[in-house]
């Protein structure tokens, strides 16, 4: 029996769903997979989220392309659910619909001054430097000397690194051309990451922390006393988990690392909760309450800390974006273990929230495919997406995407980069057409 499955969203969770479907095929069961993507380009966060100076993480795109080469896979990029096709129509045309639409709305701090100019969310800043067509015009002013990044997770780390490194280090990467130009003119020389809890609660992962002392033109500062105090706290409270031990060791190495004495500085501060962003129309300073760790809890003290900075970027997590046909609860598509309703499922960040690395989506998607297979009965006699897309709607299929990909890679070869990303939606479509 051949079942038709529509996967909405061409990011890691979408591709791993397609892979799990392909792997589940046997003599009696096969799938025809249509991947639907709003942008003219696939790969989701691997294209528009992963930091340009982390090319190894992007190697997973080779796996995506292998999945896409299978004969039962079709790409329909430049198709938006809720605008070009409705979820209701997809439900009717397909045996199962999997929503792998991620979480792209940056969470807000909800503090006074958050709306000032140059107070940005990582949800706008990251796609800006990664050449996402919707974020080319994000207004970023890098004329100040100090930037603050709120949050102690890997996104905060990526954002801080991009601001703190010498931009020439981005020359051989696929960073957006418009961002590279602006970063080369940047006056920012100090970037301060602020986490509200202690080092033992930081959400960074050890490999990312270990990369920091390798930065050639930036000194990284962490207060050693804060790390030692955290290590003491966790040891007192019992056996220390391996990941936490690795994190604290990596943070301590940074604190102890001999500084090069260079102009560019990246500092990680802990136990500081932002309470206000101040400035005349534009960010000028960020006020924090200083916290302390007490009996396993983080409590605020009466002390405050004010950092003078002209740019603040909030990297405190993401929520899924609503579109017609779905409801969002706690930042995720309302679901029970990946089941949304009827024949609609969800996976990845849209399902579980913005947690885990790219590989985490593999097990998540495999679980949802098991659930789909359990629920499948008789294949529908339907046409799929071609029955519901308006005639004349221009799609980018796999061949079209391969043309865009080849063109970007060729431009990259000339410039000594892995690729030069095209940022203009219309030009992307015409590249896919030619």
The conformational region for residue 133 under phi > 0 = left, psi -120 to 50 = alpha, else beta, is alpha
Task: Return phi, psi of residue 277, to 5°.
Answer: -115, 130
Single residue of 34, 37, 124, 158 touching ligand NAP by CB under 6 A: 158
- Sequence length of the chain is 434
Single residue of 70, 166, 208, 394 touching ligand NAP by CB under 6 A: 208
Closer Cβ to ligand NAP, 132 or 196, answer by number: 196
Only one of the segments 18-26, 150-158, 172-180, 233-241 lies at the binding site for ligand NAP (rule: CB under 6 A); that segment is 150-158
Only one of the segments 75-83, 184-192, 355-363, 417-425 lies at the binding site for ligand NAP (rule: CB under 6 A); that segment is 355-363
Q: CA separation (Å) from 221 to 102, 252, 308, 314?
A: 33, 10, 18, 20
Single residue of 355, 363, 375, 386 touching ligand NAP by CB under 6 A: 355
Closer Cβ to ligand NAP, 131 or 149, answer by number: 149
Here the tokens at position 428 are: 């992307």
For position 315 contacting ligand NAP by CB under 6 A, the verdict is: yes
Place of tokens 């020439």: 168
For position 199 contacting ligand NAP by CB under 6 A, the verdict is: no
Only one of the segments 26-34, 320-328, 349-357, 381-389 lies at the binding site for ligand NAP (rule: CB under 6 A); that segment is 349-357
Q: How far is the CB of 271 from ligand NAP (least distance, A)?
A: 10
For position 235 contacting ligand NAP by CB under 6 A, the verdict is: no
Please count the other Cβ atoms lying within 10 Å of the Cβ belonging to residue 275.
16
Q: How far is the CB of 221 from ligand NAP (least distance, A)?
A: 18
Only one of the segments 72-80, 141-149, 199-207, 396-404 lies at the binding site for ligand NAP (rule: CB under 6 A); that segment is 199-207
Please count the other Cβ atoms lying within 10 Å of the Cβ belonging to residue 413.
12
Single residue of 151, 279, 310, 348 touching ligand NAP by CB under 6 A: 151
Residues 6+ apart with CB under 8 A from 31: 2, 3, 4, 5, 21, 22, 24, 25, 72
Mutual angle of helices 177-184 and 122-129, in 10-degree steps: 100
Q: What torsion do the CA atoms of 80, 61, 58, 410 make, to the nearest 10 degrees?
A: -90
Q: CA separation (Å) from 332 to 82, 89, 104, 352?
A: 17, 22, 11, 7
Single residue of 5, 147, 155, 191 touching ligand NAP by CB under 6 A: 155
The rounded distance, in Å, linking the Cα atoms of 311 and 138 is: 13
Single residue of 357, 387, 406, 410 touching ligand NAP by CB under 6 A: 357
Site for ligand NAP in 18-47 (CB under 6 A): none
Only one of the segments 78-86, 193-201, 230-238, 256-264 lies at the binding site for ligand NAP (rule: CB under 6 A); that segment is 193-201
Q: Is 41 strand, coil or helix?
A: coil
| Contact between residue 164 and residue 266 where contact means Cβ atoms under 8 Å apart | yes
Please report, as ranges, the residues that interact with ligand NAP according to CB under 6 A: 54, 57, 109, 150-156, 158, 195-197, 201, 203, 205, 208, 315-317, 354-357
């Amino acid at each position: 029996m051949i079942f038709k499955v529509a996967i909405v969203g061409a990011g890691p969770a979408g591709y791993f769903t397609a892979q799990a479907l392909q792997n589940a095929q046997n003599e009696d069961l096969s799938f025809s997979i249509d991947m639907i993507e709003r942008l003219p380009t696939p790969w989701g966060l691997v294209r528009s989220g992963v930091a340009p100076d982390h090319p190894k993480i992007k190697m997973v795109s080779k796996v995506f392309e292998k999945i896409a080469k299978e004969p039962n896979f079709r790409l329909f990029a430049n198709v938006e659910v809720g605008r070009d096709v409705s979820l209701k129509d997809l439900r009717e045309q397909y045996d199962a619909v999997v929503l792998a639409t991620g979480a792209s709305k940056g969470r807000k701090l909800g503090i006074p001054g958050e709306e000032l100019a140059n107070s940005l969310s990582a949800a706008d800043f990251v796609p800006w430097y990664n050449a996402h067509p919707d974020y080319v015009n994000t207004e970023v002013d890098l004329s100040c000397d100090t930037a603050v990044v709120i949050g102690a997770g890997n996104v905060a780390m990526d954002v801080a690194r991009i601001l703190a490194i010498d931009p020439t280090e981005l020359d051989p990467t696929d960073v957006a051309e418009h961002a590279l130009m602006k970063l080369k003119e940047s006056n920012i020389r100090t970037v301060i990451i602020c986490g509200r809890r202690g080092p033992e609660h930081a959400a960074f992962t050890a490999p990312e922390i270990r990369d920091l002392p390798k930065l050639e033109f930036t000194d990284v500062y962490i207060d050693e006393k804060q790390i030692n105090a955290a290590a003491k706290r966790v040891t007192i409270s019992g056996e220390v988990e391996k990941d936490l031990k690795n994190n604290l060791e990596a943070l301590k190495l940074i604190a102890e690392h001999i500084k090069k004495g260079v102009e560019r500085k990246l500092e990680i501060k802990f136990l500081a909760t932002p309470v206000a962003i101040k400035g005349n129309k534009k960010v000028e300073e960020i006020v924090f309450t200083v916290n302390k760790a007490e009996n396993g809890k983080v409590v605020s003290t009466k002390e405050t800390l004010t950092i003078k900075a002209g740019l603040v970027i909030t990297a405190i997590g993401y929520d899924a974006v609503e579109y017609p046909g779905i409801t969002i609860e706690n930042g995720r598509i309302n679901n029970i273990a990946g089941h949304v309703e009827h024949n609609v499922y969800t996976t990845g960040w849209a399902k579980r929230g913005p947690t885990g690395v790219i590989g985490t989506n593999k097990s998540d998607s495999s679980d949802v495919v098991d659930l789909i297979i359990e629920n499948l009965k008789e294949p529908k006699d339907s046409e799929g997406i071609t029955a519901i897309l308006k005639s004349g709607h221009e799609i980018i299929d796999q061949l079209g995407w391969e043309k865009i990909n080849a063109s970007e890679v060729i431009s990259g070869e000339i410039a000594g980069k892995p690729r030069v990303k095209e940022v203009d939606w219309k030009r992307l479509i015409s590249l896919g057409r030619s």
